[in-house]
Amino acid sequence: MAVDLSRTFKPIQIAVLTVSDTRGPEDDTSGDILAERVTGAGHSLAARNIVRDDVPTIVGQLEAWIADPSVDAVVITGGTGLTGRDVTPEALDRVKERDIPGFGELFRWISYKTIGTSTIQSRACAVLSRGTYIFALPGSNGAVKDGWDGILAEQLDSRNRPCNFVELMPRLREI
């Protein structure tokens, strides 16, 4: 990470969403990992929820957080696979204004180092909606670690150079 320690860290408000038909609060380990990393990095956990793999349900939760001025970013775990129940990317298609294609590309490159060609089964993606970043990661513990540690920890750190997502936030509503 190219962190410039002479710059001021600016914490942001991040919501964590787990998409799963089988996990509950007692066994949401990937959501736990994300929540711990969000707060461990110095950000605020704005909200956390678990919803089932259902496009209208996911869209409803995302719309609520997008409309909430206290949520700057959402990190989703789950629903990015290839099966019929994996519908997170389809939900993001309904709320997005812009894609952030490099996120999914970089995630699969990082994940390749861990799980090899199995990474091709991931539809990890990111979008921007009304000034809110939304990042969708697979539901495995390893995937959320790869996504946070390899991408989001740096891009959500305002001190990261040469650029980062945080410094763009004041201008995101120019769309």
- Number of other CB atoms surrounding residue 50 within 10 Å: 17
Q: Which pLDDT belongs to residue 25?
A: 93
For residue 70, give both structure tokens.
């206290």
Residue 51 bridge partners (DSSP): 19
Query: For the whole model, what pTM was predicted?
Result: 0.96
* 3-state SS track over 57-91: HHHHHHHHHHHCCCCCEEEEECCCCCCCCCCHHHH
pLDDT category of residue 52 using cuts at 50, 70 and 90: very high
- Report the distance separating Cα 175 and Cα 168, nearest Å: 12
Cβ 107 vs Cβ 137: under 8 Å: yes
Quick one: angle between helices 88-95 and 55-67, nearest 10?
Answer: 40
What is the identity of the amino acid at 18?
T
* 107 has a pLDDT exceeding 90: yes
